[in-house]
Chains A and B, each alone.
Chain A
Amino acid sequence: MKKLVIASIVLFGIISMTFSASAGQKKITIATEGAYAPWNFSSADGKLDGFEVELAADLCKRMGVEYEMVPQAWDGIIPSLQAGKYDAIMAGMTITEKRKKAVSFSRYYAATPSVFIVLNENGFDNLKTEVDAITLDAINPEEEKAMAVLSKEFNGKVIGCQAATIQEKFLQQYLGKSVEIKSYDTQENLELDLQSGRIDAALGAMSYWVPRLKSDKGKGFKIVGPGMTKGPLGEGVGVAVRQTDTELAGMFSKAINEAIADGTLSRLAIKWFTFDASAKE
């Protein structure tokens, strides 16, 4: 009996220790994946680093709140938010209609076009479009022509992307009839198959691929065709919070606006992506 009493006291202690109130907080916990360089990654001594890690520090300073950043695997990153393990997510998460049904977003802080990547020797030399950017939600005649070129050149080819991403949704919606889509659980597996020629092209985020192509590992690849944004490709990357925490989302949006105004956001983007992937207006 005595043991039972002690055990229940200990158990209660564990539960109440981790009991965290969400309303009126002065300290927030932000989750990131910690494995998506250069957005967010871990160094060998276990510290988090990257664009979003530095941005989080800057935003929280502007908001006047204390914060802690924790790593969380991408699988289950939204359910854990809803279960109250942390209060916000900054993990290269693009704002989409579907995700909005589960979480609230701040305004976007980065927008990165999606591009097609092929092996250098694979050519696709005929793939020339007159525009270098396509905005899918407000498509004009030239952009429409460019889409037609894409769908003709990729006809019958195998295109890879990461599963459950905006790129997969775009492929299904726009090229689903003419290409075979192959989905991968990780960026690494996708890249290995592109390298080995099992797929003809990959669709991915420019923020990942531009620094990658400049590195040793990316020497064999090149970008072809225009960069695509909006529509199924989402409204940029934002901070995700629980749907009830609209106040917190508002605080983040305000801080992001300030960081855009004084140039901090653009400076951080160029530092980590080597090109300016930050939100503008």
Chain B
Amino acid sequence: MDLSLLGFGIDGWGDEMLRGAFMTLLVSIAAYGLGIILGALGAFLKLSRFFLCRLLADIYTTIVRGIPELLIIYLVFFGGGIMLAKISTLLFGGQGFVNLPVFVTGMMCIGFSSGAYSAEVIRGAVLAVPKGQIEAAKAIGMTPFTRLKRILGPQVARYALPGMGNIWQLTLKHTSMISVIGLVEIMRQSAVASGSTREPFTFYAVAGLLYLGLTSISNQGFSRAEKWAAKGVRSE
């Protein structure tokens, strides 16, 4: 292992690798946020009284959880690009290509898949709240919003946190796959560095350490959040 390669500045790859790690973190956070929104929406639809809503959400989670992330990326990035180009030709005429920025595409692909997993976790957490509490809240005349704020929200957060922590880790690692669309995150940066210097071991080891660093720091954060969410509950 040649550690001088990892220096900072013009001759070292250290700053490039760190920038890659920052990009990984950024795209993970964006995708995770999108995933939570999609997940909450998915869970809401799954628990709906209407058959059509349930069907829609079921189709979403079944398909997205059932096919590999890499395939989703290929479909959205390459297929989506060609589709957008066709639409733009129809709307504006002329020939051309439409490209969404790679960051947006990557975030959408990963967020889309993260959302499907989140939907299942959030749905489970909602079901874990005893029905009697909701009925009681209704009985004393709480509005749906107040019920969400005071009864469902805090408890769903507590039940969902361990599962959501898991999904965060998955999301973070899945971002390694968007290196194929050209976003320079940890994986792509280490491939470029190892291909250019012919020192694969050094750079892939560093990539591993960077991922490990990101996941263990965020793990700490999630344990704290879990403690915080459980502070109103007596431990057995």
Instruction: Give the number of residue pairs across the A-B interface with Cβ within 8 Å.
Output: 112
Chain B residues with Cβ under 8 A from A80's Cβ?
77-78, 181-182
Contact with A along B106-149 (1 / 0, CB 8 A): 00000000000000000000000000000000000000000000
User: Among B22-30, B167-175, B193-201, B215-223, which stretch is in contact with chain A?
Assistant: B193-201
Contact with A along B181-198 (1 / 0, CB 8 A): 110100010011111111
CB proximity to A under 8 Å, residues B51-110: 74, 77-78, 81-82, 84-85, 88, 94-101, 104
Could you say which interface size class chain A belongs to? 35 or more
Complex Cα–Cα for A192 and B81 (A): 37
Chain B residues with Cβ under 8 A from A23's Cβ?
95
Shortest distance in angstroms between B219's beta carbon and chain A's nearest beta carbon?
A: 29
Chain B residues with Cβ under 8 A from A46's Cβ?
16
B162 at the interface (CB under 8 A from A): no
Chain A residues with Cβ under 8 A from B88's Cβ?
15, 19
Shortest distance in angstroms between A212's beta carbon and chain B's nearest beta carbon?
A: 8
A73 at the interface (CB under 8 A from B): yes
Given contacts A20-B97, A36-B195, A85-B97, 18 further A-B contacts (CB under 8 A): A14-B101, A15-B100, A18-B98, A19-B96, A20-B96, A21-B96, A34-B195, A34-B196, A35-B195, A37-B195, A45-B11, A80-B78, A82-B78, A83-B81, A83-B85, A84-B97, A186-B200, A212-B198
Complex Cα–Cα for A273 and B28 (A): 40
A176 at the interface (CB under 8 A from B): no
Which residue on B lies nearest to A31, using beta carbons? B182
A76 at the interface (CB under 8 A from B): yes
Shortest distance in angstroms between A92's beta carbon and chain B's nearest beta carbon?
A: 11
Q: Which residues of A contact B (CB under 8 A)?
A: 14-15, 18-23, 33-37, 41-46, 70-73, 75-76, 79-80, 82-85, 186-189, 192, 212, 215, 217
Chain A residues with Cβ under 8 A from B77's Cβ?
76, 79-80, 83
Chain B residues with Cβ under 8 A from A192's Cβ?
200
Complex Cα–Cα for A70 and B182 (A): 9
Q: Which residues of B contact A (CB under 8 A)?
A: 5, 10-13, 16, 74, 77-78, 81-82, 84-85, 88, 94-101, 104, 179-182, 184, 188, 191-198, 200
Q: Are A76 and B97 in contact (CB under 8 A)?
A: no
Q: Indicate which residue in A15, A76, A187 contacts B98 across the interface (CB closer than 8 Å).
A: A15
Name 9 interchain pairs, CB-CB below 8 A, sorted by A: A19-B88, A19-B98, A20-B96, A21-B96, A35-B194, A73-B181, A83-B81, A83-B85, A188-B198
Given contacts A21-B96, A22-B97, A83-B81, contact A71 B182 (CB under 8 A): yes
